[in-house]
Amino acid sequence: MNHLERTDIQLGYVPLLDCIALLWAQHQGYFAEQGLNVTLVKEASWASLRDRLAFGFLDAAHCLSAMLPAAMMGSDHIGIPLQTPLVLSVNRAFISISQKLCFDLNISTQDSPKQSAEKIVQAIQQQQTIHLAHVFKHSIHHYCLREWLALADQHIAQSAKLLTFPPPYMVESIAKHAIDGFCVGEPWNIQAEIQGYSHVIAESKAIIPEVADKVLAVTQDWAIQYPATLNALCTAIMRAQQDLQQMSTIDSAININEVWKILVDYNIIRFDCSESVHVPEFHKIQHIIQHFVPQEITPKASDFEWMIGQMQKWEHVNLDHQNISEIAQRCIVK
């Protein structure tokens, strides 16, 4: 083991299924095996996580991938560069629409993304007020909603005013009729559907490319100052990822029930779901957890280039190809 420049680590996360590798690494003692004393810190929102990471209250974090190019460009109004050495999940977000609106507009779970978008857009064109929400301005969830609406009408996709709510508040917001639909990662779509508030009507991977969704992020200065510590963090998390990918296979040392208990203990899963209750949803969650991570867990510059392209398309960012390429490369720890 390399000499660690730092051993006490504050590791931030937002309650979503794709923080599970961090929780599992802690549970299994993988951080401790690397000589790290990790404290997991739950953040209330992506905004608070970004700010606390940027200003050093967190050492590292489970982070929205699109935050990194935004930080590099200063589009986040903070301008402290963030970098990543490790992908935690690829896009596994979903779009949910309230059950009432689905009924009123005849939106079916069997509709294609284009068909459901056309029904929403037609209602908007007829002056119906529809409130849609995503988790953060710089997120694939934001871009997924825009691209989904653009399947029906580019102008409405550009002009629609989208709301922002932290992932855990999506269910409460749709229950209180503050919003009519949202794009978020699991388990919040499943919870809202089980509780009767919404239907999942589209999956992000049917709308946008297979790009990184969450990454392990640190500030650029932190990566330079603590390289051995960062490597130790990655080693522990990658070991957890390998466990989770093998979950419930014959030769796996773990099973879904162990993972499920952790998700319940950390208040991420807040509903009854098992091999006996809400069975399809139970197996859906298991499948999602096992398939968060692509074969190649090293971040790709092309993913960040796509995100910057989305910022150009929807947020009027103006950069040439050379600048885009340079910014995307700088988002990755070398």
Domain assignments of the chain as residue spans, ordered by start: 8-90+211-330, 93-206
pLDDT digits (tens, 9 = 90+) for 275-307: 899 999 999 999 999 888 877 789 999 999 999
Report helix, strand and coil shares of the chain as percent, to nearest 5.
Answer: 50, 15, 35
Out of 3.30.300.250, 2.120.10.30, 3.40.190.10, 1.10.10.10, the CATH code matching 93-206 is 3.40.190.10
Q: Do 93-206 and 8-90+211-330 have the same topology in CATH?
A: yes
**80 close to 55: Cβ distance less than 8 angstroms:** yes
| Confidence (pLDDT) at 248 | 64
pLDDT digits (tens, 9 = 90+) for 43-95: 999 999 999 999 999 999 999 999 999 999 988 888 899 999 999 999 989 99
Rounded CA gap, 244 and 37, in Å? 22
Strand-pairing partners, residue 72, are none
**41 close to 63: Cβ distance less than 8 angstroms:** no
Rounded CA gap, 242 and 185, in Å? 21
Average pLDDT, the chain: 94
| Confidence (pLDDT) at 247 | 81
Q: Which of 66, 332, 15, 326 is nearest to 214 (CA)?
A: 66
| Cβ count within 10 A of residue 95 | 28
Taking the CA atoms of residue 280, residue 281, residue 287 and residue 291 in that order, the dihedral angle to the nearest 10 degrees is 140
Averaged pLDDT in 10-residue chunks for the chain of 334 residues:
88 97 97 98 96 97 97 89 96 96 96 98 96 97 98 97 96 97 97 97 96 97 98 97 82 80 95 92 91 84 97 90 94 95
Homologous superfamily of domain range 8-90+211-330 = Periplasmic binding protein-like II (3.40.190.10)
End-to-end, the C-alpha distance of the chain in Å comes to 20
Classify strands 132-134 and 181-185 as parallel, antiparallel or unpaired.
Answer: parallel
Which contacts (CB < 8 Å, 24+ apart) does range 254-261 have?
Answer: 256/282, 256/286, 259/20, 259/24, 259/289
Q: Which of 254, 214, 218, 244 is nearest to 233 (CA)?
A: 218
**142 close to 110: Cβ distance less than 8 angstroms:** no
Single-letter residue type at 158: Q
| Cβ count within 10 A of residue 301 | 16
